[in-house]
């Protein structure tokens, strides 16, 4: 459905807008939307796990901005980037701890953290609105400005690579199965042995790492770090991509393929509105209406309830992880003991125990009610108390 709408928009813009269907514009569209798509990958991991991360843009701006600020002050680029990445991972871990262990709702925890990061970032990390990268970055600069085959921008290539890695990770690994299980039903996942709290911390840490990667690609593309983005509406564009692509805000549903389709649709829409010279305010209104409509539709299709496991993604995930549950193992063991009597003991032996009915009465073959003598009792069976 989303891809069909994207195709219709593409045809309409190509016919109505003279400068839309040009190679330079299409390549620029792909390059610009790739950053949004990378951030949407990180957001989708958290939303599938029944959370939300409003700190992604702030983490992207100030972790990468701090790295390049240290680089411009004389630090080698390697250690500077390593420190920036550690900062991003630390913020992601704090987000996860606040949500999983302190049990603050994700939207409030990440909103407060985003505000704190913006303030502390401007105060202690990057004290300017725009940080210009004037030094030659060498090979690192090719991450954002290079081209594959002299045609395809490297940000697009990296976006597709990260999308493939995320798809494989969510689809074919235990980590991905755990994410879907937690998102589908938190309590059922915990009862099946999944460590929900550490997994939640890991989800937000992965989201922060992806935000750092997006910031690095953006910075090497434009050679600047704009700290004003931390307080912009970009985070809502990320949510718009995820929701319009089809990933349910109730958790446990969707895949990276939804992110790709949502990225294409929103990229076409933003590019078309820019070519038509629609003001930023009007664009914001249009995006808000689309986001609200998408959320309403999502809430109708995927109500946010603590529903039991259905025959969906997480059910299959849990069944793949836990081939035989602990209860089934215990039942099989007990059943094998009951139905495998000793060769020297049968149900009609006077000293043997027979299965009991649900009411506690003896069932099966007729059992003697008299206490057997020591001589007559089978040596491999225990004596049964006399009944009245």
Domain positions in the chain: 2-321, 342-388
pLDDT value at 215 more than 90 = yes
CATH class given for the domain over 2-321: mainly alpha
Compute and round to an integer the Cα radius of gyration of the chain. Answer: 30
Instruction: Indicate if the pLDDT at residue 158 is higher than 90.
Output: yes
> If you average pLDDT over every residue of the chain, what do you get?
80
Q: How far apart are CA 248 and CA 303, in angstroms?
A: 9
Report the pLDDT value the prediction gives residue 7, as an integer from 0 to 100. Answer: 87
In the block, which residue shows the tokens 């209104």? Answer: 285
Per-residue model confidence (pLDDT) at position 182: 93
List pLDDT tens digits, range 110-148: 999 999 999 998 888 988 888 888 777 878 888 888 888
Asked whether residue 88 carries a pLDDT value surpassing 90, the answer given is: yes
d(CA 65, CA 130): 9
Q: What is the pTM for the complete model shown? A: 0.76
Task: Write down the pLDDT at residue 312.
Answer: 41
106-120 vs 77-100: helix axis angle to the nearest 10?
A: 150
pLDDT exceeds 80 at position 313: no
pLDDT exceeds cutoff 60 at 11: yes
Lowest mean pLDDT among 3-12, 302-311, 344-353: 344-353
């Amino acid at each position: 459905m989303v891809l069909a709408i994207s195709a219709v928009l593409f045809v309409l813009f190509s016919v109505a807008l003279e400068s839309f269907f040009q190679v330079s514009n299409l390549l620029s569209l792909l390059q610009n939307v790739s950053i949004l798509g990378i951030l949407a990958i990180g957001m989708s991991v958290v939303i599938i796990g029944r959370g939300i991360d409003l700190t992604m843009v702030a983490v992207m701006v100030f972790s990468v901005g701090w790295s390049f600020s240290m680089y411009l002050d004389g630090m080698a680029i390697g250690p500077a980037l390593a420190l920036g990445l550690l900062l991003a991972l630390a913020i992601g871990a704090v987000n996860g701890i606040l949500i999983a262990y302190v049990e603050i709702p994700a939207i409030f925890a990440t909103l407060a953290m985003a505000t704190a990061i913006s303030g502390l970032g401007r105060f202690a990390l990057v004290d300017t609105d725009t940080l210009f990268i004037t030094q030659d970055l060498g090979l690192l600069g090719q991450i954002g400005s290079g081209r594959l085959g002299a045609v395809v921008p490297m940000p697009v290539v990296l976006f597709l690579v990260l999308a493939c890695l995320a798809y494989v990770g969510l689809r074919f690994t235990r980590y991905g199965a755990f994410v879907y299980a937690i998102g589908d039903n938190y309590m059922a996942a915990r009862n099946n042995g999944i460590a929900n709290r550490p997994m939640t911390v890991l989800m937000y840490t992965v989201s922060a790492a992806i935000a750092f990667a997006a910031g690095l690609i953006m910075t090497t593309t434009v050679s600047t770090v704009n700290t004003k983005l931390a307080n912009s509406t970009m985070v809502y564009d990320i949510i718009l991509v995820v929701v319009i692509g089809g990933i349910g805000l109730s958790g446990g549903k969707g895949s990276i393929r939804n992110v790709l389709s949502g990225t294409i649709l929103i990229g076409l829409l933003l590019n078309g509105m820019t070519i038509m010279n629609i003001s930023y305010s009007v664009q914001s209104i249009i995006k808000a209406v689309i986001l609200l409509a998408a959320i309403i539709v999502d809430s109708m299709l995927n109500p946010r309830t603590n529903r039991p496991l259905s025959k969906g993604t997480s059910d299959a995930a849990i069944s793949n992880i836990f081939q035989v549950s602990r209860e089934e193992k215990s039942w099989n063991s007990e059943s094998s003991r009951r139905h495998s009597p000793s060769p020297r003991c049968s149900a009609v032996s006077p000293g043997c125990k027979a299965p009991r009915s649900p009411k506690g009465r003896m069932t099966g073959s007729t059992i003697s009610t008299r206490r057997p003598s020591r001589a007559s009792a089978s040596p491999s069976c225990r004596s049964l108390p006399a009944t009245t």
